[in-house]
Amino acid sequence: MKRAASKPHKIRSQIVVPTMSPKKWYGHGIPGVDLQKLTGKLFVVEGADGSGRSTQIVRLVQWLEQGGHATVQVGLKRSSLVSEELEQAQQGNILSRITLSLFYATDFADQVENVILPALKSGFIVLADRYIYTLMARDMVRGMDEGWLKNLYGVALVPDAVFYLQTTPEVLVQRNISKTLTLDYWESGMDLGLSRDLFDSFLKYQTLMSEQFQRLQKTYGFRIVDGNQSVEGVHEELRSEIEEVMRGRV
Amino acid sequence: MKTFSELGFPGRLIAVEGLDGSGKSTQIYLLKRWLELEGLKVFFSEWNSSALVKSATSKGKKRELLTPTTFSLIHATDFADRYERQLVPLLRAGYLVLCDRYIFTAFARDVVRGCPPKWVRGIYNFAALPDMTFFFKSKLEVSLQRILDGRPQLKYFEAGMDLRLSTDMYESFRIFQGRILEQYLAMSTEFNFTVIDANERVEVQQQIVRQLLQNKIDLAKYMHSPL
């Protein structure tokens, strides 16, 4: 006790400059972009609603800024181009499958070009609250062709790391209900007609989604993080993995 | 890729393609009027006209927010919406569906804008091919003149200004349309375009179009049946 009290509080000022690593596209990419100039890093946090994604991103931003890194956040349905229309369409549930899928792809591509690429060029750390994997998984659960989706998302940049917060449907259901006292129509996959009961449908749908994520994991190599553990536990894990990537050890 | 008839749809899809100012919209309008007045089940659909998507597209265009990639995707979204909600159900119901522009417009424009052809074609591969595609082939100068005479106020994307071909809008439009024409001509054989000489008089072209359509499709099958 005495020793700790007499020790002056140490202010950390050492900043780690992230190592440079070459960027890649999943497919042909976006015409006219010089990948060499993308000096920033792109980290993706994936997981269902209730997996703790948003909480974790808030914590990561705080930690990164403290560490002297400039950050930018992106997520689904946040483009200036189509987010309003997409929201409207979902409320009315009036768009067909391919249309909705292309609408989301437009929203995604708009953010790639107008947020992600400029930020990476300026050396920012970009944190993505979901990425193409959720979009692909949702469509695959609905029977869309994987090859078609891969071609479509050939415009996506390969992230420096993708963290999938794997959370059991039972935990998700509890977290969602305690937060909103209901379950979201789309997150319950009600459009699929799995069950007329929202609760049952949620569990079934999240199980199907998690199966698709397992499949995608094999192709895209996500780092699986146990989302059932405490906020602190997940945060520690994400931090140490991101640190490794920034130091170029992975 | 297969046509609607090859896929066993009772309806038939007829598309027109061509440069702005080639007169294709006039021709398909006359075709539509004729078929309607003959008492046939006809539906007409225009490129870039789905209500919901249109609001996003026009916002993007007004604010010049669109890049080649998002330009391509937002038009694909518009097309998919019309395709899934109107074209397919109507073709299932045995309609003659007339389309002012179809997927070939995207193939030509997006590729000129620098999108990879394989990517663009891949996105549209959910769509069946038209049973008949009329391509209105006009001399570049004639189409340019028609547009420039009619409404000299060109729009930014229409003139291909986003491609930075020229700082002069009219010059940009000329170069852009020229490149689109090259793309159309390259696709003509592959997609079995029926080429119409768009330099002919309106009536002459319409006569040819009606004749060719009748030769290919048994129009009497598409009469409205008494309800």
Domain positions in chain B are 12-218
Name the pLDDT band for B45 (thresholds 50, 70, 90). Answer: very high
B192 DSSP assignment? T
Residues in CB range of A236: below 8 A, 6 or more apart = none
Domain boundaries of chain A, sorted by first residue: 43-69+126-246
Give the bridge partners for A163, in sequence order: A45, A223
Closest residue in B to A108 (Cα–Cα): B70
- What does the pLDDT look like over A71-127, one tens digit per residue? 999 999 999 888 888 888 878 767 889 999 999 999 999 999 999 999 999 999 999
**Contacts with A, B 15-74, CB within 8 Å:** 52-53, 55-56, 59-60, 65-70, 73-74
Yes or no: say if B2 and B126 are a contact pair by the CB < 8 Å rule. Answer: no
Residue with tokens 């890093």: A41
Mutate one of A33, A84, A102 to test the B interface: name it (highest B CB count within 10 A).
A102
Give residues with Cβ within 8 angstroms of B88, minimum separation 6.
none
Q: Which helix (H) or strand (E) holds A159?
A: none
Q: Token pair for residue B148?
A: 């420039």
User: Span A24-47, mean pLDDT?
Assistant: 95
Spatial separation of the C-alpha atoms in residues A79 and A91, rounded to whole Å: 17
User: What is the model's pTM?
Assistant: 0.90
Spell out a b/e string for B154-176, using b for 16 or more CB atoms within 10 Å of the CB, else e.
beebebbbbbebbeebeebbbbb
Q: According to CATH, what is the number of the domain B12-218?
A: 3.40.50.300
Q: Which of A105-114, A126-135, B58-67 has the lowest mean pLDDT?
A: B58-67
Contact A116, B69 (CB under 8 A): no
The whole-number average pLDDT for the span A195-209 is: 96
Is B195 part of the contact surface with chain A (CB cutoff 8 Å)?
no
- pLDDT number for residue A1: 47
Average pLDDT, chain B: 93
H or E, element range at B19:
none
pLDDT of residue B63: 77
Q: Please compute the mean of the pLDDT values over residues A54-74 and round it to a whole number.
A: 96
- Tell me which fold the domain A43-69+126-246 belongs to: Rossmann fold (3.40.50)
Tell me what pLDDT residue A30 has: 94
CA-to-CA separations, A57 to A86, A121, A125, A221, B127, in angstroms, rounded = 24, 21, 12, 20, 39
Q: Compute φ and ψ for A77, nearest 5 degrees.
A: 60, 40
Helix-, strand-, coil-residue percentages of chain B, each rounded to 5: 55, 15, 30
- Judged against a pLDDT cut of 90, whether residue A250 lies above it is answered with no
Residue B168 CB-half CA count within 13 A: 4
Query: Per-residue pLDDT for A208 more than 80?
Result: yes
Residue B151 above 70 pLDDT?
no
Element (H, E) at B115: none
Strand, helix or coil for residue A38? coil
Q: Do residues A245 and A160 lie in contact, with contact meaning Cβ atoms separated by under 8 Å?
A: yes
A172 has pLDDT over 90: yes
Q: Which residue has the tokens 């497919």?
A: A27
User: How does pLDDT run across B139-150, given as a tens digit for each residue?
Assistant: 888 888 888 887
pLDDT at A245 over 90: yes
In this prediction, residue A244 carries a pLDDT of 95
Q: How confident is the model at residue A9 (pLDDT cuts 50, 70, 90)?
A: confident
What are the distances in angstroms from CA A188 to CA A204, A207, B171?
Answer: 8, 10, 53
Pairs of residues, one from chain A and one from chain B, whose beta carbons lie less than 8 Å apart: 86
CA distance B156 to B162: 7
CA distance B81 to chain A (A): 5
In this predicted structure, what is the pLDDT of residue A93?
65
The C-alpha angle with vertex A89 and arms to B108 and B45, in degrees rounded to 5, equals: 40
